[in-house]
Amino acid sequence: MLQEYLRRIGLLLVGLLVSAIGITLMLQANIGLEPWSVLQQGIAKTFGITYGTAASIVGAAVIAIAYFCGESFGLGTLANIFVCPIFIDILLYLNWIPLFERFSTGLAALLIGMELLALGTWMYMKSTLGSGPRDALMVVLARKTHRTVGLCRAAVEVVIVFIGWRLGGQVGIGTIVAAVGVGSLFNLNFGLLRFNPALLHQENLPETLQRFRGRKTIT
pLDDT score at 182: 83
Q: What is the mean pLDDT of each run of 10 residues along the chain (219 residues)?
A: 85 96 97 95 97 96 88 90 96 95 96 94 90 79 77 85 96 92 84 83 85 60
Candidates 192, 198, 197, 154; CA nearest to 176 is 154
Candidates 194, 190, 51; CA nearest to 120 is 190
Candidates 11, 19, 59; CA nearest to 186 is 19
Look at phi and psi of residue 170 and say left if phi exceeds 0, alpha if psi is from -120 to 50, else beta: beta
3-state secondary structure of 21: helix
> CA–CA separation, 165 vs 93, rounded Å?
24
Q: Look at the pTM and tell me if it is higher than 0.75.
A: yes
> CA–CA separation, 137 vs 63, rounded Å?
7
